[in-house]
């Protein structure tokens, strides 16, 4: 029988990004006894507005780099857990310029692990299903915790490397860690470089959405808040040294998702452009999350994808000021790539 871990002071790295900030909101809303220190470098993907509405006595923002060991030494004492979200997270960027991915995703994780070792605090590592590579479109299999690592992109190879560091530091130094590998997240506050927000904001701007390759690639979608509740359950109830896959049975092809967006926004389902494919484009991701459900009793709450997509579209329509600044530069970058 596992005794639940009851953290009071946690550090959330990358807490101004899309998923990290959702987790901060989740903790503030559901666990009034917990104080959160967000450590975020505020790269192009980090926006302090994402957590600005939260009470200052519950959430403190420290602007800094996870690669800065001196800062970690200052920050960590007095905290009882780190939940590590900070990363360079976009596959297309990793293909154009892999180095920032090596630095933040690999060196950053190394720096954190060394500090965790020094101060002996609980560590949860947020990773991705992409470490397992891809599945064929007609393969009935899904990823499990036993699937061998086979990353395809510079991004996923750095995430896989970071997972390996966590496993090695856990076994060698006895750190108290867990790892989660989650499928594709969607919802408000996602950067406009990513598939769903890019298409929604293109339509708002009167541009045609852009579909890579054949459009048949499959992603397994989960609403961000369900990812956050799963990470909380793993942090507090997960078995030390274990990996848990997080997914909500949300497989859909890209063309299916795009047509749902077009219809929900009152446009013709064929009103989009086919563009150059992503090099090495993973075909299909699919998660079997039965270990997490069985062991920790976790269940996703937002499984109606059409409803989640409508909420997400509404948010982008109503929060143009949040994304407007990033849109032009993002599209220029895509245009240079023929995408």
Residue 2 to residue 72: CA distance in whole angstroms: 29
Q: Is there a catalytic annotation at residue 33?
A: no
| Contact pick of 191, 198, 259, 284 for ligand NAD (by CB under 6 A) | 191
Taking residues 15 to 44 in sequence order and writing x for each that binds ligand NAD by CB under 6 A, - otherwise, the string is -xxxxx------------------xxxxx-
* Whether 51 contacts 16, CB under 8 Å: yes
Choosing from 26, 85, 110, 155, the catalytic residue is: 155
Q: How far apart are CA 264 and CA 259, in angstroms?
A: 8
User: Is residue 197 within the footprint of ligand NAD (CB under 6 A)?
Assistant: no
Chosen residue from 5, 119, 149, 212 binding ligand TDX by CB under 6 A = 212
N residues, the chain: 339
d(C-alpha 163, C-alpha 244), whole Å: 12
The two tokens of residue 201 are 């904001």
CA atoms of 285 and 273, how far apart (whole Å): 24
In order of 94, 199, 275, the CA distances from 272 in angstroms are 25, 9, 10
Whether 107 is a known active-site residue: answer: no
Indicate whether 194 belongs to the interface with ligand TDX (CB under 6 A).
yes
Q: Which residue is nearest to ligand TDX (CB)?
A: 128
Q: Is 163 among the catalytic positions?
A: no
Site for ligand TDX in 85-104 (CB under 6 A): 89-91
Q: Which of the choices ligand TDX, ligand NAD, none does residue 101 contact, using the CB cut-off of 5 to 8 A by kind? A: none
Q: Between the CA of residue 284 and those of 141, 142, 251, 271, what are the distances in Å?
A: 11, 9, 9, 24
26 interface partner picked from ligand TDX, ligand NAD, none, CB below 5 to 8 A per type = none
C-alpha–C-alpha distance, residues 116 and 108, integer Å: 12
89 binds ligand NAD (CB under 6 A): yes
Residue 108 interacting with ligand NAD (CB under 6 A): yes
Could you give the CA distance from residue 292 to residue 129 in angstroms, rounded to a whole number?
A: 14
Contacts to ligand TDX by CB under 6 A: 89-91, 128, 130, 184, 194-195, 198, 210-212, 217, 219, 254, 278
Binding-site ranges for ligand NAD (CB under 6 A)? 13-14, 16-20, 39-43, 45-46, 65-67, 85-87, 89, 104, 108, 126, 128, 159, 182, 184-185, 191
């Amino acid at each position: 029988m596992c005794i639940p871990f009851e953290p009071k002071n946690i550090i959330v790295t990358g807490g101004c990004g899309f998923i990290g900030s959702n987790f901060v909101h989740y903790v503030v809303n559901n666990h009034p006894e917990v104080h959160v220190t967000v450590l975020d470098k505020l790269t192009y993907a980090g926006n302090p507005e994402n957590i600005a509405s939260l009470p200052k006595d519950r959430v403190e923002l420290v602007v800094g780099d996870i690669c800065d060991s001196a800062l970690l030494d200052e920050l960590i004492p007095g905290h009882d857990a780190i939940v590590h979200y900070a990363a360079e997270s976009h596959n297309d960027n990793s293909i154009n310029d892999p180095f920032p991915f090596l630095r933040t995703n690999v060196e950053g994780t190394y720096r954190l692990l060394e500090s965790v070792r020094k101060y002996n605090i609980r560590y949860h590592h947020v990773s991705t299903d992409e470490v397992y590579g891809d599945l064929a479109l007609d393969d009935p299999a899904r990823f499990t915790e036993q699937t061998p690592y086979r990353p395809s992109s510079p991004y996923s190879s750095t995430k896989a490397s970071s997972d390996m560091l966590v496993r090695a530091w856990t076994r060698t130094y006895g750190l108290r860690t867990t790892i989660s590998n989650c499928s594709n997240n969607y919802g408000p506050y996602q950067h406009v470089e990513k598939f769903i927000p890019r298409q929604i904001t293109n339509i708002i701007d009167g541009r045609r959405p852009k579909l890579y390759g054949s459009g048949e690639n499959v992603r397994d979608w989960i609403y961000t808040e369900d990812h956050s509740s799963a990470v909380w359950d793993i942090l507090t109830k997960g078995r030390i040294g274990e990996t848990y896959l997080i997914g909500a049975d949300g497989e859909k092809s890209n063309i299916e998702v795009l047509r749902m967006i077009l219809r929900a926004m009152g446009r013709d389902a064929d009103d989009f452009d086919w563009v150059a494919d992503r090099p090495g484009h993973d075909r299909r991701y699919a998660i079997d999350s039965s270990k997490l459900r069985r062991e920790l009793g976790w269940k996703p709450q937002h499984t109606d994808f059409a409803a989640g997509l409508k909420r997400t579209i509404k948010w982008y329509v109503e929060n143009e000021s949040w994304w407007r600044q990033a849109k032009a530069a993002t599209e220029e970058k895509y245009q240079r790539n023929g995408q």
